[in-house]
Structure 1
Amino acid sequence: METCIGLVFYIETAVLALLFLLVVGVLISKCLGYLEFYRPRRRRRNYVDLEKSTERSIKDNNQVDKWIQNRLKLLEEIEEPYENQRIEIESLQEQLRRERTDKKKEVAEKEDALKRLSAIMSSRLKDGNPNIADLNDHNRPTKIGEQFSELYDNQWTDAYGAVQTCFKQEKKEPEIIGILLGILEQCFMFCKDKANTQLADVSDGVKILALVITKKDTKLQCDLLQRIKEERKMCAEDELPRYNEIATIMKEYFTAKETKADFLDDLTVIQFTQECLKLCWLMVIQDPPMSMVLKHTENAHDDFKAYKHRGKHVSFVVWPALLLEEGGSLISKGIAEFHE
Structure 2
Amino acid sequence: MASRQQSDIDKLEKHLMGKPNNFLSRGEVESVWTNLKERIRHTNGNVGSAFADLENAVELQFKKSFLEKRKKKYSTLKKSIIAACSENKSTEEARGKQLTQAQETSPAALSNLSDNQENKTPSRQSRGPFGEQETHPKPSTSGYGFSPRNDKQPSGDVRKCEGIIQTLQDKLDQQRTENEINRQELKDEIKILKQEKDQLMTRLSKMAGDKLTHNNPGIADLSDPNRPQKLAEKYGELYDNEWTDAIEKLNSKTDDKEQRRCIDVLADILEFCYRESERVAESQLTQLQNDCFTLPPTGKQKGVIQDAPDSARRHLLEAQYSASRFTMKAAVDIVTKSLHKQRKSKGTAKKIPRFTAKCIEICWSMVTNQPRMVFLWPDKKKTSKIDTSMFDLYTRSGDILDFVVWPAMLSCMDGPLLRKGTVQPVAKQAT
TM-score bracket relative to the smaller structure:
0.5 to 0.7
Identity %: 27
Structure 1 residue 100 displacement after superposition: 8.0
Distance 2:201 2:313 in 1: 20
Aligned to 2:289: 203
Matched, 1:250 2:333: no
Distance 1:300 1:162, change over 3 A: same
Report SS of the residue matched to 1:301: coil
Matches within 5 A, 1:76-95: none
Specify every segment of 5 or more residues in structure 1 that has no aligned partner in the other structure, as ranges.
1-91
Equivalent in the alignment of 1:186: 272
Q: How does 1:38-187 map to 2 (within 5 A)?
A: 107-165=194-252, 172-187=258-273
Q: Secondary structure at the match of 1:238?
A: coil
Q: TM-score, normalised by structure 2?
A: 0.49
**1:305 offset after TM fit, Å?**
0.4
Contact 1:292 1:321 in 2 (8 A): yes
- Corresponding residue for residue 306 of structure 1: 393
The structure 2 residue matched to 1:265, chosen from 332, 346, 350, is 350
Q: Which moved more, 1:126-135 or 1:195-204?
A: 126-135
Quick one: which of 327, 335, 340 aligns to 2:422? 335
Aligned-partner residue type, residue 245 of structure 1? I
CA apart distance, 1:319 = 0.9
Instruction: Name the CA distance, whole Å, in 2 between partners of 1:102 and 1:182.
Output: 66
Relative to total residues, which structure has the larger helix share, 1 or 2?
A: 1
2:357 maps to 274
Q: How many residues align?
A: 241
Which segment drifts farther, 167-176 or 195-204? 167-176
User: 1:47-69, CA deviations, whole angstroms, 9 ceiling, x for partnerless residues?
Assistant: xxxxxxxxxxxxxxxxxxxxxxx
The equivalent residue for 2:367 is 284
Counterpart amino acid of residue 333 in structure 2: N
After superposition, the Cα gap between the structure-2 partners of 1:321 and 1:210, relative to the gap in structure 1 and judged at 3 Å, is farther
For the Cα contact (< 8 Å) 2:401–2:425, is it kept in 1?
A: yes
**Which amino acid in 2 is paired with 1:285?**
T
- The verdict on how the C-alpha distance between 1:177 and 1:217 changes in structure 2, with shifts beyond 3 A counting, is closer
Displacement, 1:324? 1.5
Contact 1:300 1:314 in 2 (8 A): no
Structure 1 residue 152, shift from structure 2 partner: 0.5
Q: Which segment drifts farther, 184-193 or 279-288?
A: 279-288
Aligned to 2:38: none
Which residue of 2 is the match for residue 225 of structure 1?
A: 313
Question: Using CA pairs below 8 Å that are at least 6 residues apart, which structure has the higher relative contact order?
Answer: 1
Residues 294 and 320, structure 1, Cα contact 8 Å, conserved in 2: yes
Cα RMSD, aligned residues only = 3.5
CA displacement, residues 144-172 of structure 1 (integer Å, 9 cap, x when unaligned) = 1111111101111112222224x986961
- For the pair shown, the structure with the greater C-alpha radius of gyration is 1
Q: In structure 2, what residue type is equivalent to 1:199?
A: L
Displacement, 1:283?
0.8
1:322 positional shift: 0.6
For residues 189 and 251 of structure 2, what CA distance do their matches in structure 1 show? 71
